Structure 1
Amino acid sequence: MRKREEASTRDRILAAAERLFSHLGLERATIRGIAAEAGVNIAAVNYHFGSKEALERETFGVLAERVNRDRLARLQLCLDAAGARAPRLEDLVTALVAPYLEGGPGKPGLLPQLILLLSLPGASDKSKRAVATAFDEVAARFVDAFARALPQLSKAELWWRYNLVIGATVYTVGNSGGRRLLRLSGGAADPTQRGELLQHLVAFVSAGLRGETEISTLTLPSGGARTTKGGKR
């Protein structure tokens, strides 16, 4: 009975942390507020997690597991539908990025925010390792699937492109990138419109993955700067 009660308390704290992190942001959500949201005292939060940083990392782990499970299930559906044929690239990309968009109504998913936070220079080594390894198996599965859809590309090239895809996705879906896009576009490009965001993201990512030229075959101008008739840009 005691173990069940402790597990229930821990789960309630994690659920409360996810809600407040999503609603208030990582900086404004406090241990006191999370404890109140969970219906426990601050001592219970400290007992189960020890610090706000540890609670953020644990919340990241729960979200990462949920997203990975969703992505792999979607990936398997794509592969089953394709059978012996090459899977459709846009379907694979949707399976990869769509779970990142899941959050509250009108809000981007919390996971990209946590990935950015825990990757910052000031984050602990434990937090950085958590980010670095949480998606390794899923990444390998998707790169293998991309290799079936894009047989003209080498595995090394696909790994480069996969890494760039994740960087673009995390920034675009995370709060910082989303707020900046909304501000710069004067509201014309609204990332809180989840369906529109997904359409643009899938189209952009698919085009980047599908490019037939291996980067190793490109020759940049001297100094790496692209030039035009009007000079450098």
Structure 2
Amino acid sequence: MNSSASTKERILTAAEALFAQRGFEGASLRQLTAAAGVNLAAVNYHFGSKDHLVEQVFKRRLDQLNARRLGALKHIAGLQETTLEDVLSAFIRPALDLSHDGGGGLFMRVLARAFAEHDDSLRKFLSENYGHVMRQFTVEFARLLPGLSKEELYWRIDLVTGALTHAMSGFGIIQRKSDVSETSHREQTAEHLIRFAAAGLRAP
């Protein structure tokens, strides 16, 4: 990694931690430059504005996440033997993996901030850049659930996404036991969530 790339990465890592702790409005560029060990000129050079920096914090994680989701979906979409659980697995497991990767937990808190702070410009950015991912999954859900109206399907997918975000945050009442490995706990979470989501999506 060259010096310019490592500086950019350092700024993104510091920004992610700061946004998780203080929110987008509460985190100042002065705090960011101190945390990243860079000057303001470096932030401006790499990102131009705070809004663009916020977008790049999301892009760094979500590009990777959604590439893995779409890669998994590509192998099962349209096949007669594909089940609802298969599609949910392609949607849920990459997200749970991200939430337990290095820095992923912090990013979940940043994501929660985005929902809590009702940032319209950020929502527009996320919709424009990642809306196509949800649309591709929705096509497959609709194929497997022909009895649901479009509106009802969107309601249910929205609730599944909410349950996934909750599971990714690690704030739930079920915490990992000391004798259970991180991998096993993540697998248990995935299995429970896929079963729960499938039942909710299939409900009459």
TM-score class, shorter-chain normalisation, is 0.7 to 0.9
Report if the CA contact (8 A) 2:20-2:106 is conserved: no
Q: What does residue 61 of structure 2 align with?
A: 63
| Distance apart, 1:141 and its partner CA | 0.6
Q: Does residue 27 in structure 1 map to residue 28 in structure 2? A: no
In 2, Cα distance between the equivalents of 1:165 and 1:64? 18
TM superposition score normalised by structure 1: 0.66
Match of 1:116 in 2: 112
TM-superposed deviation, 1:137: 0.5
* Higher RCO structure, 1 or 2 (CA under 8 Å, sep 6+): 2
**What is the CA–CA distance in structure 2 between the aligned matches of 1:110 and 1:186, rounded to whole Å?**
17
Q: Counterpart of 2:138?
A: 143
- 1:181-202, CA deviations, whole angstroms, 9 ceiling, x for partnerless residues? 24xx7969x9x62111111111
Structure 1 residues 1-233: aligned runs within 5 Å? 6-7=4-5, 9-14=7-12, 16-17=13-14, 21=17, 26-27=20-21, 30-32=31-33, 34-36=35-37, 40-41=38-39, 43-49=41-47, 54-79=52-77, 83=79, 85-101=80-96, 102-104=98-100, 109-121=105-117, 123=119, 125-174=120-169, 178-182=170-174, 193-211=185-203, 213=204
d(CA) in 2 for partners of 1:95 and 1:110?
A: 23
CA contact (8 A) 1:119 1:131 kept: no
Query: Which residue is equivalent to 1:224?
Result: none
* Distance in 1 between residues matched to 2:73 and 2:106, nearest whole Å: 22
Aligned residues: 192
CA distance in 2, matches of 1:206, 1:111: 26
Q: Structure 1: how far apart are the matches of 2:33 and 2:159?
A: 38
Shift of 1:121: 3.3
User: Is the Cα contact below 8 Å between 2:105 and 2:168 reproduced in 1?
Assistant: yes
Task: Give per-residue Cα distances to partners, 1:172-217, cap 9 Å, x unaligned.
Answer: 212xxx23424xx7969x9x62111111111111111111x1xxxx
**Higher gyration radius (CA):** 1
CA contact 1:100–1:111 (8 Å) conserved in 2: no
Unaligned regions of 5+ residues in structure 1, if any?
214-233
Q: State the alpha-carbon separation in 2 of the partners of residues 162 and 68 from structure 1.
A: 16
As a proportion of its length, which structure holds more helix? 2
Q: Is the 8 A contact 1:119 1:127 kept in 2?
A: no
Over the matched positions of the two proteins, sequence identity in percent amounts to 35
